């Protein structure tokens, strides 16, 4: 029998459809919170992005409320639901939720325990607060792209994942919400959280930002251990055209790598700037002599910090991930059976091997409205008026 989920009994209202806020609510749902995805009725949702059915865990374990928040009846009903919620997450432009009458102050009047989380690109104030943006923009202003590898034309390379959305925004918001819920245990009051995705990017660029602020030294690609200065931390191509990641930072690991490649002569020169071009050339010549997986099988178990650079079809079949149960099967929703990423953050429940997901047209609107005291007649009128679906 699996333990009670960490967030069992907590109710989260999520007004987003995509992006950092949806990343956050996915995390909270996987920790056991009752997450209610709030969106407009279908015929009033032209401006709202509808992600592919498989996105964000295909909505597994979440409820849906379709309600027009611009209609007086819809707003009033939503606020009745918010009065009993623990967390509200929104990702409108700064000031929009307040103008709609569902901002923090509106909800707090009804529910002093609410943890109200606003996610935005640049924060709720400041000269850039109303700038539109996406993941790439936040990685740009947060220094991530400036410190990343370069294309052939010298420009920053496009990242292979939405790092700002998932970590700078989604995980940032989830951590802040969990901290606020812990403080609420002591104060019995909620709080307002202003989550800036760009500032979340800054948090994981802190090694370089702090280096510059403390010393005046300007970090840049190729000048530091983690950005390509040394051959011991780089990518190398194997005979079959596939790539290996080498992260042998510690001297002992570097020595093991050199011995494994038959290049013992470089053991004493790991951080010798004058030798890096020669070391790289020898590493490249050695690695290209065998296929990637042959090198991994030989070097990875020998404390060399060598790993394969996987394509997505490879990683979903990796035996380590299989043992760790990081992929599960989803069934239902009108899309048959398909695999998806499981709840993989530490402490999330990995006992389930199959999840049932629902059709995107199915909602919990009526049950949620009845749960806050609306009568069947009131709900039917709202449905006829197009306020709910």
Where in the sequence numbering do the catalytic residues fall?
A: 134, 165
Q: Which of 165, 169, 146, 164 is nearest to 156 (CA)?
A: 146
Cα 39 from Cα 83, distance rounded (Å): 18
Phi–psi pair at 354, nearest 5 degrees: -140, 135
Sheet holding 327-331, edge to edge: 337-341, 327-331, 354-356
**8 Å CB contact between 364 and 59:** no
DSSP 115-145: EEEEEESS-SSSTTTT----HHHHHHHTTTT
Question: Tokens 């009752």 identify what position?
Answer: 34
Of 208, 197, 195, give the one whose Cα is nearest residue 143.
Answer: 208
Q: Which residues pair with 117 in a beta bridge?
A: 89, 193
**Among 35, 53, 20, CA closest to 163:** 20
Nearest to 254 by CA among 272, 238, 273, 268: 268
Give the β-pairing of 243-247 and 306-308.
antiparallel
Q: Are 239 and 290 in contact (CB under 8 A)?
A: yes
Cα-trace Rg, the chain = 25
What is the separation of C-alpha 282 from the centre of its chain, rounded to a whole number of angstroms? 38
Answer whether 280's CB lies under 8 Å from 271's CB.
no
CA distance 270 to 248: 10
d(CA 254, CA 305): 8
3-state secondary structure of 90: strand
Neighbouring C-beta atoms of residue 147, cutoff 10 Å: 20
Other Cβ atoms within 10 Å of 21 Cβ, number: 26
**Tokens linked to 210:** 């702090």
């Amino acid at each position: 029998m699996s333990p009670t989920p960490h967030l069992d009994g907590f109710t989260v209202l999520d007004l987003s459809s995509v992006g950092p806020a949806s990343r956050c609510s996915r995390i909270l749902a996987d920790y056991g919170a009752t997450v209610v995805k709030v969106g407009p009725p279908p015929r009033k949702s032209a401006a709202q992005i509808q992600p592919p059915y498989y996105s964000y865990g295909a909505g597994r374990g979440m409820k849906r409320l379709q309600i027009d928040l611009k209609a007086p009846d819809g707003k009033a009903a939503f606020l009745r639901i918010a009065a009993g919620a623990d967390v509200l997450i929104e990702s409108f432009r700064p000031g929009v939720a307040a103008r709609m009458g569902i901002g923090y102050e509106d909800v707090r009047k009804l529910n002093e325990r609410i943890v109200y989380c606003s996610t935005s690109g640049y924060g709720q104030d400041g000269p850039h607060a109303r700038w539109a943006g996406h993941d790439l923009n936040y990685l740009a202003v947060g220094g991530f792209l400036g410190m990343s590898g370069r294309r052939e034309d010298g420009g920053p390379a496009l990242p292979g994942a939405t790092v700002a959305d998932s970590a700078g925004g989604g995980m940032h918001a989830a951590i802040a919400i969990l901290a606020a819920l812990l403080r609420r245990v002591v104060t019995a009051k909620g709080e307002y959280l202003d989550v800036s995705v760009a500032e979340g990017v800054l948090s994981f660029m802190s090694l370089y930002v702090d280096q510059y602020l403390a010393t005046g030294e300007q970090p840049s690609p190729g000048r530091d251990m983690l950005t390509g200065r040394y051959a011991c931390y780089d990518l190398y191509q194997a005979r079959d055209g596939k790539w290996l990641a080498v992260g042998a930072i510690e001297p002992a690991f570097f020595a093991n790598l050199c011995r494994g490649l038959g290049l013992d002569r470089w053991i004493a020169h790991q951080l010798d700037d004058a030798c890096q071009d020669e070391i790289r050339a020898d590493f490249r010549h050695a690695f290209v002599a065998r296929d990637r997986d042959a090198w991994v099988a030989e070097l990875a178990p020998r404390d060399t910090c060598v790993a394969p650079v996987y394509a997505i079809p490879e990683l979903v079949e990796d035996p380590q991930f299989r043992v760790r149960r990081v992929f599960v099967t989803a069934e239902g929703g009108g899309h048959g059976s398909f695999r998806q990423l499981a709840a993989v953050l530490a402490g999330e429940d990995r006992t389930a091997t199959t999840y049932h997901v629902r059709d995107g047209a199915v909602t919990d609107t009526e049950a949620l409205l009845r749960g806050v005291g609306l009568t069947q007649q009131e709900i039917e009128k709202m449905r006829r008026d197009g306020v709910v679906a």
